[in-house]
Amino acid sequence: MSITLAPKRRGSGLGLAMPAILLLLAFFVVPVALLLLRSVTEPEPGLHNYRTLIGSATYAKVFFNTFFVAGVVTLVTVLVAFPVAWALAIMPQRWASVIFAVILLSMWTNLLARTYAWMVLLQQTGLINRSLMALGIIDQPLQLTNNLIGVTIGMVYIMLPFMILPLLGVIRKIDPAILQAAALCGASKGQALFRVLLPLAAPGIASGGLMVFVMSLGYFVTPALLGGTANMMLAEMIAQQVQSLVNWGMGGAAAFILLIVTLGLYAVQLRFFEPKPEVR
């Protein structure tokens, strides 16, 4: 049937995608290309924007902040997400679905609402500082916002679901009989964890971690609100160059570096780990 119907009905199908292709070309590909072009043409042709970016201590600090925060966020996220995903995969269904609902709720709650909550919680007179003082752990309120501590807490909060969900998928696919075999072979719980469960979950940890790292590198809202101007990160710097300083050359150059790093890390992801369908 499909032999007779297919050529007439389906054609090539490319035409159907044309409106969307044109939309993306006009308002995504061309604008991004033009922006990158401005990095080597403004204010005059040449690579001087990149030289400034790499040469100056101010921008070096921005790059350091960006990679440092992304690294810490990834590390903390992995350390929390692994036990959580592990527990979610095996705990009684009732509890797992409650925790799962909370994860989805936090993931879908408005980003600004979540960041606002952390700004209030972490401020000098906020709940966290007052609780710690009431418990006698500290005498003076800690500076938790307008620095990288605040950014890290806020970002871990946002990235956790993106680490837990893929890890959960990986752990659910491991056959429990393999862990039973490890136990009968004489492996204690610790030995089974480090010699069997962790190595089997490693691809998921690496691929989820890479995803969180890449997303953290280009994040704008949370660093801007919780980090303050003294602790700028890359995305914020791009915005500042373009909006406040109207320096399109520098903005374009920084954007190009971010683009290359992002695409490079995604290429690693695609090369070494199977592409996974989005978990939403």
Query: What residues between 118 and 147 interact with another protein by CB under 8 A?
Result: 118-121, 123, 125-127, 130
Question: What residues numbered 84-103 form the site for another protein, per CB under 8 A?
Answer: 84, 86-92, 98-99, 102-103
- State the Cα–Cα distance between residues 229 and 237, nearest whole angstrom: 10
- State the Cα–Cα distance between residues 216 and 208, nearest whole angstrom: 12
Query: Does 203 sit behind a cis peptide bond, omega within 30 degrees of 0 on the bond before it?
Result: no
Question: What residues numbered 228-247 form the site for another protein, per CB under 8 A?
Answer: 235, 238-239, 242-243
220 is an interface residue for another protein by CB under 8 A? yes
273 is an interface residue for another protein by CB under 8 A? no
Give the count of alpha carbons within 13 A of 183, CB side only.
6
Nearest residue (CB) to another protein, 6 versus 138: 6
The DSSP letter of residue 144 is -
Rounded to a whole number of angstroms, the distance between the first and last alpha carbons of the chain is: 37
In degrees, rounded to 5, the angle at the alpha carbon of residue 205 between the alpha carbons of residues 224 and 263 is 55
Question: What residues numbered 247-266 form the site for another protein, per CB under 8 A?
Answer: 248, 251, 255, 258-259, 262-263, 266
Select from 15, 137, 140, 274 the one that contacts another protein (CB under 8 A).
15
Which of 217, 231, 189, 184 lies closest to 86, judged by CA?
189
Question: What residues numbered 144-173 form the site for another protein, per CB under 8 A?
Answer: 157, 160, 171
Q: Which amino acid does the sequence have at 268?
A: V
280 is an interface residue for another protein by CB under 8 A? yes
Select from 47, 54, 111, 138 the one that contacts another protein (CB under 8 A).
111
What is the helix (H) or strand (E) element at residue 227, kind and residue range? Answer: helix 221-227
Beta carbons of 45 and 243 less than 8 angstroms apart: no
Please tell me the count of residues contacting another protein according to CB under 8 A.
113
Cβ-proximal residues to 273 (8 Å cutoff; 6+ apart), any chain: 203, 206, 207, 210
Nearest residue (CB) to another protein, 61 versus 221: 221
Which of 198, 200, 209 lies closest to 162, judged by CA?
209
Nearest residue (CB) to another protein, 31 versus 46: 31
Q: What is the pattern of x (binds another protein, CB under 8 A) and - over residues 174-193?
A: xxxxxxxxxxxxxxxx-xxx
CB 138 → another protein: shortest distance, Å?
Answer: 18
CB 120 → another protein: shortest distance, Å?
Answer: 5
Q: Which stretch binds another protein (CB under 8 A): 32-40, 44-52, 55-63, 135-143?
A: 32-40
117 is an interface residue for another protein by CB under 8 A? yes
Select from 56, 58, 106, 143 the one that contacts another protein (CB under 8 A).
106
267 is an interface residue for another protein by CB under 8 A? no
Cβ-proximal residues to 42 (8 Å cutoff; 6+ apart), any chain: 49, 248, 249, 252
CB 52 → another protein: shortest distance, Å?
Answer: 18
